[in-house]
Structure 1
Amino acid sequence: MAQAFKRGDRKRLSALLPQAKGHPLEPWAAYWELKARLDEASTQEVRAFLNRYPATYQEDRLRNDWLLLLGQRRDWTTLSDEHQHYRMRDDRELRCYFLTVELLEKGPQASASIADEVRKNWMAMKEADDGCTLAADRLYFTKQFKALDIWRKARLMAEHNRPRTARNAVQIVSPADASHVNDILAKPLPFLNKQIAAPSKAKQELVVLALVKLATTDTDKAANLLRDKWRPYLTAEERHWVWGVIGRQSAMRLEDEALSHFARVANDKDLNDDMLGWKVRAALRAGNTPKWPVVESTISHMSAEARKDPTWIYWYARALLAHKKVTPQIQQEANALLESIAGVRGFYEQLALEELGRKVTVPARPDAPTADELEAARRNPSLQRALYAIGMGLRSEGVREWNYGTNLVDAQGKAGMMSDRELLAAAQVACDNQVWDRCINTSERTRTVIDFEQRFPMPHKDAVIARSKTINLDPAYVYGLIRQESRFVTDARSHVGAAGLMQVMPATAKWTARKIGLNNFTPNQINDRDTNIAIGTGYLKLVLDSFEGSMPLAAGAYNAGPSRSRRWRAPNDGTGPVLEGAIWAENVPFNETRDYVKKVLSNTTNYAALITGQPQSLKAKLGLVGPRSASAPAENLDLP
């Protein structure tokens, strides 16, 4: 039935459903069968399903699917009746449909908080969606959204190469121009060269869209056109936004000109948080000494929500401490900010701890789950189905069921969030079943206690440590990387084909096997535990040596490829700046790799504390990142 569902084979699903009656995964079978024909199912059928499988993931998942369908059909009465029973509440489009119901009921009297929530959800969605676009259209009609709100959405989508979503936004504010959006974004330079002036507000905004799109491929041309041709025709806000995009794109390319582009923005309030984040990164990377006043000023202009991020709390505190004269009041403010995040939970939390003069140590372990607590977790129907599904190879379904069960169902299987004690017990059940990814993810969600041995387990300990020591590789670094790569799922496979514990690509595995003398290697061996560890650690060691022992550079190379990590460090002519490892990591242009490097190094620090029993320094592991030393051994340039 799982295979038939993926194929969209409705007839096969209906034929097989009777055989699933009484099976532990019957709710999944019933969900697949009804979901496949939901567009033609009756309301009675849907409600019968919801009543048959109460408090299950499948009940709430189908309700989510049905509510989206009701929104598309504009069946506001049924949607309003059913929405109150929806528990997951994690679907932005569905939330926008429900907010639309409130807007239709309240009209111009709808609260400002509704408009703010729609704006937040709409701006966050990159794919074209009906729900939030409809809500935004309604808010524009009732004058609770300004035209600028709509155009800013279109600008964001132009920068992120989402022409359809950009067109949908323009359709709201200027229907006559919406049909031109695709052509403008496909060929922005001809459009900008052809246009002589911007005779209307809509035409000005189309010019802005074209400049934004051009900046994603050629910042110099976009900057020249903005400065030399279009400046007189655009408002200050429009110019600032385009310079913000140019600055962001330049900063992502690690260009020295990034800060000068941002400097053309007279008012940081005209930039969004993402642009401001890249302005901070550019200021941190500007030479051997960061531009601390720019860091401080820029973070102060971020939204209140963005300023709560540990990233910006840490760097704002560092900027305060970099004042020429640090008064007791400034010291107190900086220390309070650092204390607010200091701990072992993540990268900047650990750095804040060190900034306060303390190192990373293993926290006191909470009391182990009692026999009754463990038994309650084992009896939880959602967790039982999750483990069964994972055990029979339906990992995706099992993971979703587990996440639902630990987020929205208590230990007795009733709706309600698990307590820390229940989470620890559920995590332990996953550990006991060697479902390490659920063990880690569940343990990470405890709020007041931390069980380091759950959060940082060490499966295959003898094999990992023995292999690491053989090739002179820090086992904590290996464990930190495996935890991030696969969560210790031995048969993990990524969408690009990376496989096993250490997520090795087939071509890389073949190359590494030759390098480390692993004879008679064949691709089908890559999921074998010991083979995967041998090849993964062998490749990691070669990468680490190639980058002169720099853990952040090697982690970046492992994730995004050695050639990219080489480009992201200072130039090889020896003239580039020498950066703190944390500054280098924060400037990694790829969101995924930036997050990966920080998590691998944070993991490594915590594993080192566990393995050695000694206080650890994340800063020491990050080190400094600068140009390649002239005295370094020849670089292994054929690393895949």
Structure 2
Amino acid sequence: MGKLTWQPWLQQVLAQTPKAMVGALLLALAPLVLASSASSSSSSSSAQDDAASTQEEQVDAIESKLATTSANITIRAGANSNDLVSGSAEANGNSDVYSGTALHFEDQMMLNARRVDLDLFAKMPKSRITKMREAYVQAENAFRRGDEALGFAIQKQHLQGYPLNIWLNYYYLANDIKTSKFDAVMKFINSNEQAELAELLRDRYARYLSDVRDYARLSVLVGPKPFDETKLSTLSFKQKTQLCRFYEANWPLDKVNEEAISFATRIYLDLSKRPLSCNGLMALFDAKGYLTDKLVLKRFENAYVQRSYTETTDSLAQELQHTDFAKRVDQQMQLYSQPEKLFDEVKGNSEDEHRVAVLAFKRYANLSPRSARNDFKKFIKTYDPSETELIDIYQIFASSFLGRSYGLSDVEWVDRNLPTLAWNDTLKEQRLRRAIYFAQWKEVYVLIDHLSPDLKDDINWRYWKGRAALELGKTDEGNALLAEVAKDRSFFGFYAAQTLGVDYPFNYLKIDPNFSFPLDIANNKAAIRFLELYALDDDNAIYEWREIAKRSPEHEAMVMAQWALQTGNISYAIDFVVSSGRWDALDYRFPIAYRSSYEHFSKESNVPLSFLYGVSRQESMLNHNIRSWAGAVGLMQVMPGTARDIARKEKWKFSGTNSLTDPETNIQYGSTYLRWMLDKFDNNRILAAAAYNAGPGRIPRWRSNDGVKRDVAMFVECIPFKETRKYVQNVILYDAIYNFLITGEKGELIHPNELSYAY
């Protein structure tokens, strides 16, 4: 098992490490050294230099300092970081932030010190390290305010060999941005010394060069086209940003004219949120005359027929007031709230009136599908829509009638009327879920083969292909398909494994038990920089952390993840997994944080410990300080209003919204509410999890009301809300994983009472 022992590795690592880096290397060392040295009887010492005391005396000094330091470990969010690492996690006066999983150090890692004066271990006088850190902060401030001469002077005189000099170089380039620095910027980016900083710098200069319209340099900066775009809907926000920058840089240079026009047109017509980085491309699109009134009208029409996008529709209607389309748009907006009045208001004699009628009926079909269907023949007879317009309307009807609140007769209407060409992937997936709900196994078996390749390979549809084969008597094929699914660590992978009676695919990646910290990361520059920034309480430590996670050798990255886990830095541990894609590193992906509090309230509320962890991990990534856009707070994302209701019923004193950031308070309220949901829904975790996410009022509507018994897999797949459908799968899977990590036993994904339940 990996150990953090006092002798002789300290002498070895000190000998191998540059003086300026020793302090940073040993940021996390002091509590670890104490943990192992406490059980050691060794009293050997060796002189370092005239200004330093012996190593044992240094340990004694730190031990004394630790004994009088209050417990408080803070995770600081990186600038521009997402909610994954925002906020802080505190030890709250005990060492319960993290309780280890399968791997433990010989002694509990001491968590009763937020920071340690690492200069006590250094080979240089304490005053020198203090001055270097002070000098670094002064140089950083100088560069930030544009006093470059002072920054360089401090760097040259006081910071030779200091590990954070690369950050000062970044501050020089990133603040007071100038074209004259461009060559230095490209040299920094191409040096590959710190890729996270390089991307930050690239983004800052891309914005600057876009603002000053220096497209030649912008083209050099963004480089070649990052990938070939497919459907806009399949692109991530980041991918849209990259393509916008690429086309903005190269269009003025006449390199990508037609491609740029096509992409910008699609970006403009897309109603989803547009990256700010696309503003430069859209400005070019407008300046070159491609943002025509006709295109604005098309975007208006796209927004008009939707159930939402009211503000967008109003804004575009105003934009069109001084165009040739003003009269048509005014007539269109008169029907916005009550599109069913189109038969009284629109004659359809002109091309404009015909278009008004078609759009109004599309909106009518979206808002009131059954009523619109009753008027559909009348609409066709009165306004004679084109084949293309009819296909659009049929798709709108299908999107509604394939929803959970509609019956089999509505599904059959879609089957009879929707043209073959109108079946896109979204409608096919909706139809598949209705086929599953109504146990139409032949339809399930056949339709899955008509999905696009990416969707067809989705683990859920692979499960349902196998399930349908079994239901149709294709036993060998069904079992073979489920056996492949059972290798995947997912809800349906585990469910297939449970069905077949095979082991769950935990696919558990563990750290090498013979690891040695900090010796194993002694030459890892990113780790050195991270530890120094962490010692300085600098929020930018997150960028070095992600540099470690993404680009360090696996063993060194895993050692740092173990450091995060053992020091209570839970958000760093999870961020390590997310940033690096090491999804098999279960110890860091599913940390067992605040264990004594969870165990206490698990017993108090009679909610399984692993279920509490599963809900918390899905809700907050175990970030006790996180708040959602809806106002939910803390580890279990408790709504303040719900907390007040709980306090009233349980006769507790609720101390306000901010109290829910306290882990113990949050777990108390969250576990109580989860117990209420379990009591309400027959101790069924699947229903309780769905209720926790979507509200208990929806669950009765989602259960069968036709007398047909449906199993747990059918219920989960047919949850109408995509968010809740994914939520329930994650929570139940995470429950199983936490049970394994906590107990070492494989347990059951679905409990017997849940397997036999009539959903």
Equivalent position of 1:303 in the other structure:
452
**Identity score, percent:** 24
2:242 pairs with one of 94, 99, 109: 94
How many aligned positions are there? 578
Equivalent position of 2:510 in the other structure:
366
Equivalent position of 2:179 in the other structure:
43
Do the aligned partners of 1:366 and 1:449 also contact (CA within 8 Å) in 2? no
CA-CA distance at 1:342 after TM superposition = 3.1
Aligned pairs (5 A) from 1:82-121: 82-84=221-223, 90-99=238-247, 104-105=254-255
User: Are residue 281 (structure 1) and residue 409 (structure 2) matched?
Assistant: no
Do the aligned partners of 2:598 and 2:609 also contact (CA within 8 Å) in 1? yes
Do the aligned partners of 2:598 and 2:667 also contact (CA within 8 Å) in 1? yes
Do the aligned partners of 2:307 and 2:367 also contact (CA within 8 Å) in 1? no
Equivalent position of 2:637 in the other structure:
503
Equivalent position of 2:24 in the other structure:
none
User: Are residue 221 (structure 1) and residue 371 (structure 2) matched?
Assistant: yes
Q: Distance in 2 between matches of 1:537 and 1:552?
A: 16
Going from structure 1 to structure 2, the CA distance change for 1:442 and 1:535 (only over 3 Å counts) comes to same
Letter in 2 for 1:437: S
Q: Aligned to 1:90, what secondary structure does the other structure show?
A: helix
Going from structure 1 to structure 2, the CA distance change for 1:180 and 1:203 (only over 3 Å counts) comes to closer
2:411 pairs with one of 259, 262, 268: 259
Aligned pairs (5 A) from 1:369-388: 370-371=515-516, 372-375=519-522, 379-380=526-527, 383-384=530-531
User: Are residue 77 (structure 1) and residue 216 (structure 2) matched?
Assistant: yes
Going from structure 1 to structure 2, the CA distance change for 1:480 and 1:128 (only over 3 Å counts) comes to closer
2:589 pairs with one of 455, 462, 465: 455
Question: Deviation per CA, 1:102-122, whole angstroms, max 9, x where unpaired?
Answer: 6752556x7xxx999989988
Aligned pairs (5 A) from 1:224-373: 224-230=374-380, 233-256=384-407, 258-286=410-438, 290-323=439-472, 325-326=473-474, 328=476, 331=477, 334-335=478-479, 337-343=481-487, 345-360=489-504, 362-363=506-507, 365-368=509-512, 370-371=515-516, 372-373=519-520
Do the aligned partners of 1:388 and 1:398 also contact (CA within 8 Å) in 2? no
Equivalent position of 1:594 in the other structure:
725
User: Are residue 63 (structure 1) and residue 188 (structure 2) matched?
Assistant: no
Going from structure 1 to structure 2, the CA distance change for 1:614 and 1:70 (only over 3 Å counts) comes to same
Max radius of gyration: which structure? Answer: 2
Do the aligned partners of 2:486 and 2:505 also contact (CA within 8 Å) in 1? no
Q: Distance in 2 between matches of 1:204 and 1:136?
A: 34
CA-CA distance at 1:264 after TM superposition = 4.1
TM-score by length of 1: 0.73
Q: Distance in 1 between matches of 2:501 and 2:587?
A: 25
User: Are residue 616 (structure 1) and residue 755 (structure 2) matched?
Assistant: no
Equivalent position of 2:272 in the other structure:
126
Q: Distance in 2 between matches of 1:152 and 1:338?
A: 45
Structure 1 unaligned segments of length 5 or more: list them: 7-12, 412-418, 628-640
Do the aligned partners of 1:212 and 1:245 also contact (CA within 8 Å) in 2? yes
Structure 2 unaligned segments of length 5 or more: list them: 1-76, 82-140, 227-235
Do the aligned partners of 2:264 and 2:282 also contact (CA within 8 Å) in 1? no
Letter in 1 for 2:378: D
Question: Deviation per CA, 1:503-534, whole angstroms, max 9, x where unpaired?
Answer: 21112112213333435755443222222222
2:617 pairs with one of 478, 483, 486: 483
Equivalent position of 1:607 in the other structure:
738
Going from structure 1 to structure 2, the CA distance change for 1:427 and 1:518 (only over 3 Å counts) comes to same
Alignment root-mean-square deviation, CA: 5.0
TM-score by length of 2: 0.63
Letter in 2 for 1:582: A
Q: Distance in 1 between matches of 2:640 and 2:436?
A: 37
Q: Aligned to 1:127, what secondary structure does the other structure show?
A: coil
CA-CA distance at 1:427 after TM superposition = 2.8
Do the aligned partners of 1:126 and 1:157 also contact (CA within 8 Å) in 2? no
Going from structure 1 to structure 2, the CA distance change for 1:322 and 1:445 (only over 3 Å counts) comes to farther
Going from structure 1 to structure 2, the CA distance change for 1:50 and 1:610 (only over 3 Å counts) comes to same
Whose relative contact order is higher, 1 or 2, with alpha carbons under 8 Å and at least 6 apart? 2
